[in-house]
């Protein structure tokens, strides 16, 4: 039999033993240089800090510039007081030199404050945005390591919400948090100056501070559960939107638009209730916190004015004192907002950690092996598996010879698709073993295993990229000739070339701009291009009409000749491609043999086939 173009391609593209992940593009984004702290006993900020500190130079420059801005700001009120006190001498005694010098110094400090403030804001904004990008990369890098069982138990909208709005909440707080540092430092310097002017006046100014602190801590305690609920309800809304967009065809088919709008409305109402509740609480606490500081300001003007009249305090010092009082009051004016942001960031971090603390169930062992040129001899030995507490396979035993094509047949729910999922270690078997060429698949590197076991699923997933890139997804460096050869073998070339942009046509999300049969043909072409030595077709021609299926089968006969192939079969036409049939029932292989032999000797096999198309397109292979 003459070699096909894909057979030649297979011989040319054998992957090196050290790398089984086909990459031919340069990374456009750097991987994060740090990860979160794995110690779950630490608070959320300490766990995030390694990602923040990896940008230590920009972070340090930003903090330094912010502190310098604060120091200049703290110096200006004292300088203002001196200018006020020097003004009478400049006017009455005609001695303007000292006054002009103070004015020049003030202008210079104002310019410096602008420069330091600009540099500090710029650097801290860079760091916070880099933190956001790194956190998103950390989450995505972790998501691709998690096992299929994780995705079975979480909704897509939940993941999207945590990778977007939750990260944004952390980023916003960390961008604002340097204000808390500068506020504390400015409080210390301002209080020191105020004490140097008058101890009793300082006490009058700070008389409400303990009350403000107590109310702030009370607000913080109340806002944390509300912040958690806000982020959770935002995720619920994202889940409903995601499901409605992806399931729009089902929604319209069953005329459930109003029902889905009602469902979304209920979720939005819950989110609204939590947010309004948070606003109600903030509207009570924040004005109280802010206006309590005004009490101190009134006392300062009344008591301070009396001290000026008595000659105990100069007018300039009193003006500077009030300016410092405003500096001290500033933190309290945004303390409520900052505490809300901190609580939301804490809640968001907890939700993110729920993902990052999840460990993959399936990982490479310490001492792993690699298949270099596998022959494709498969052994399933007493394999048991259950989805949670639902047993699916209960002692599965069968073998597949190198180069053999077998069809797995069984009732719905008998475990046919589970067999191929376990073969690729998408799930871990409960007990027993699966071997390739005598090597337990658990002793193989996962990427090595996936490289050699190609799959075409019954509902192939297509990305929103060009048809050419979809076909070449598993082999990005494939030539156009190889892509066309794979498409022809999958009987996809004709419909592709009739499209407006041919192979450069960008398919819609998940390929829904194509018919089911077209999507499946592209899925077959994608697998054929990689040319794995072990090929799994999970009912891969179920959505293809009989004529096209027959053409694909003609091509598959040649392409399966030199590889081990497992067919999950529902149609008799698919069974016709197999050398042998394995019949599954109640999680076990209850019979194996040729199609004709099983028809004659196994009544249950005939019963299952009676539910399928009774007219095969070809006679089963002997």
Asked if 425 and 584 count as a contact pair (C-beta separation under 8 A), the reply is no
List the structure tokens of 155.
């909704």
- In the chain, the percentage of residues whose pLDDT exceeds 90 is 2
The answer, yes or no, to whether residue 14 has pLDDT greater than 80, is no
362-393 residue pLDDT tens? 888 888 888 888 888 899 999 999 887 788 88
487-525 residue pLDDT tens? 888 888 888 888 888 888 888 666 667 777 788 788 888
* pLDDT on residue 19: 47
601-612 residue pLDDT tens? 888 888 877 765
Domain pair 44-356 / 378-609, same fold: no
The answer, yes or no, to whether residue 324 has pLDDT greater than 70, is yes
3-class SS string, 311-342: CCCCHHHHHHHHHHHHHHHHHHHHHHHHHHHH
Structure letter (DSSP) for residue 572: H
* pLDDT on residue 316: 73
* pLDDT on residue 542: 59
Which of 245-259, 405-419, 581-595 comes out lowest in average pLDDT? 245-259
Structure letter (DSSP) for residue 506: B
User: How many other CB atoms are there within 10 angstroms of residue 393's CB atom?
Assistant: 25
Residue 366's SS3 state is coil
155-203 residue pLDDT tens? 777 777 777 778 888 888 877 777 777 777 777 887 787 777 778 777 7
- DSSP letter string, 442-477: GGB-HHHHHHHEEEE-SS----SSBHHHHHTTT-TT
Q: How far apart are CA 258 and CA 236, in angstroms?
A: 18
List the structure tokens of 24.
């031919």
Asked if 466 and 384 count as a contact pair (C-beta separation under 8 A), the reply is no
Beta-bridge partners for 398: 380
563-598 residue pLDDT tens? 888 888 777 777 877 889 998 888 888 888 888 888
List the structure tokens of 473.
């997804």
Beta strand spans in 96-136 (E) = none
* pLDDT on residue 379: 92
Task: State which CATH number among 3.40.220.10, 3.40.50.300, 3.90.79.10, 2.60.200.20 fits the domain covering 378-609.
Answer: 3.40.50.300
CATH classification (class only), 44-356: mainly alpha
Average pLDDT (124-138) is 83
The answer, yes or no, to whether residue 288 has pLDDT greater than 60, is yes
The answer, yes or no, to whether residue 247 has pLDDT greater than 60, is yes
* pLDDT on residue 3: 40
Range 16-20 contact pairs with CB under 8 angstroms and sequence separation of 24 or more: 17/370, 17/372, 20/370, 20/445, 20/447, 20/448, 20/450, 20/451, 20/452
List the structure tokens of 417.
């698709």
The answer, yes or no, to whether residue 553 has pLDDT greater than 60, is yes
Residue 434's SS3 state is strand
Q: Give the pLDDT band (50/70/90) at residue 83.
A: confident
pLDDT higher for 551 or 61? 61
Average pLDDT (441-454) is 86
45-68 residue pLDDT tens? 888 888 888 888 888 888 888 888
The answer, yes or no, to whether residue 615 has pLDDT greater than 60, is no
Average pLDDT (130-155) is 80
Distances 602 to 80, 580, 586, 591, 592 between C-alpha atoms, Å: 101, 14, 15, 8, 10
CA 408 to chain centroid: 36
Domain boundaries along the sequence of the chain:
44-356, 378-609
Overall size of the chain counted in residues:
622
User: How many other CB atoms are there within 10 angstroms of residue 372's CB atom?
Assistant: 11
Distances 437 to 182, 187, 203, 294 between C-alpha atoms, Å: 66, 73, 84, 81
The answer, yes or no, to whether residue 248 has pLDDT greater than 80, is no
Encode 555-566: b = buried (16+ Cβ within 10 Å), e = exposed: bbeebbeebbbb
* pLDDT on residue 145: 81
């Amino acid at each position: 039999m003459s070699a096909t173009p894909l057979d030649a391609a297979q011989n040319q593209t054998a992957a090196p033993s050290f790398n089984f992940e086909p990459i031919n593009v340069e990374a456009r984004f750097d991987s994060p240089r740090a990860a979160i702290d794995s110690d779950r006993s630490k608070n959320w900020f300490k766990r995030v800090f390694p990602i923040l500190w990896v940008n230590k130079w920009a972070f340090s420059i930003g903090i330094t510039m912010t502190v310098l801005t604060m120091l200049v700001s703290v110096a200006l009120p004292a300088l203002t007081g001196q200018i006020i006190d020097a003004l009478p001498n400049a006017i009455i005694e005609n001695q303007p030199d000292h006054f002009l010098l103070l004015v020049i110094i003030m202008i210079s400090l104002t310019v410096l404050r602008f420069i330091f403030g600009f540099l500090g804001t710029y650097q801290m904004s860079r760091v916070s945005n880099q933190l956001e990008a790194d956190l998103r990369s950390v989450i995505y890098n972790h998501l691709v390591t998690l096992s299929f069982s994780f995705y079975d138990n979480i909704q897509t909208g939940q993941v999207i919400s945590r990778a977007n709005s939750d990260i944004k909440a952390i980023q916003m707080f960390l961008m604002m948090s340097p204000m808390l540092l500068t506020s504390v430092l400015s409080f210390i310097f301002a209080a020191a100056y105020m004490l140097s002017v008058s101890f009793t006046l300082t006490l009058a100014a700070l008389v409400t501070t303990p009350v403000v602190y107590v109310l702030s801590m009370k607000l913080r305690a109340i806002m944390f559960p509300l912040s958690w609920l806000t982020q959770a309800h935002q995720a619920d809304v994202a889940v409903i939107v995601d499901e409605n967009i992806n399931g729009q065809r089902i929604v319209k088919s069953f005329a459930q638009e109003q029902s889905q709008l009602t469902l979304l409305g209920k979720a939005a109402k819950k989110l609204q209730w939590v947010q309004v509740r948070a606003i109600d609480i903030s509207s009570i606490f924040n004005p109280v916190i802010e206006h309590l500081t005004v009490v101190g300001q009134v006392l300062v003007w009344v008591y301070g004015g009396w001290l000026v009249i008595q000659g105990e305090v100069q007018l300039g010092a009193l003006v500077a004192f009030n300016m410092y009082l405003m500096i001290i009051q500033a933190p309290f004016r945004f303390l409520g907002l900052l505490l809300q942001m901190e609580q939301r960031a804490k809640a968001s971090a907890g939700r993110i950690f729920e993902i990052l603390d999840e460990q993959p169930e399936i990982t490479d062992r310490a001492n792993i092996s690699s298949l270099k040129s596998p022959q494709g001899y498969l052994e399933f030995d007493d394999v048991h598996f259950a989805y949670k507490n639902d047993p699916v396979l209960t002692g599965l035993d069968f073998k597949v010879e190198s180069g053999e094509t077998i069809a797995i047949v069984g009732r719905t729910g008998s475990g046919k698709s589970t067999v191929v999922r376990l073969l690729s270690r998408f799930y871990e078997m409960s007990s027993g073993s699966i071997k390739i060429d005598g090597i337990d698949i658990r002793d193989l590197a996962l990427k090595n295993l996936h490289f050699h076991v190609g799959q075409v699923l019954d509902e192939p997933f297509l990305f929103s990229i060009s048809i050419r890139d979809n076909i070449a997804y598993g082999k990005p460096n494939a030539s156009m000739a190889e892509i066309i050869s794979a498409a022809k073998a999958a009987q996809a070339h004709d419909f592709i070339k009739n499209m407006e942009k041919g192979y450069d046509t960008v398919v819609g999300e998940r390929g829904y701009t194509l018919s089911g049969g077209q999507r499946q043909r592209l899925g077959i072409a994608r697998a054929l291009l990689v040319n794995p030595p072990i090929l799994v077709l999970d009912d891969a021609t179920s959505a293809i009409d009989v004529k096209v299926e027959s053409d694909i089968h003609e091509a598959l006969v040649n392409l399966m000749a030199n590889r081990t192939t497992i067919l999950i079969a529902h149609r008799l036409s698919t069974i016709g491609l197999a050398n042998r049939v394995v019949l599954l029932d109640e999680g076990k292989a209850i019979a194996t043999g040729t199609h004709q032999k099983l028809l004659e000797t196994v009544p249950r096999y005939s019963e299952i086939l009676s539910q399928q198309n009774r007219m095969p397109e070809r006679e089963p292979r002997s």
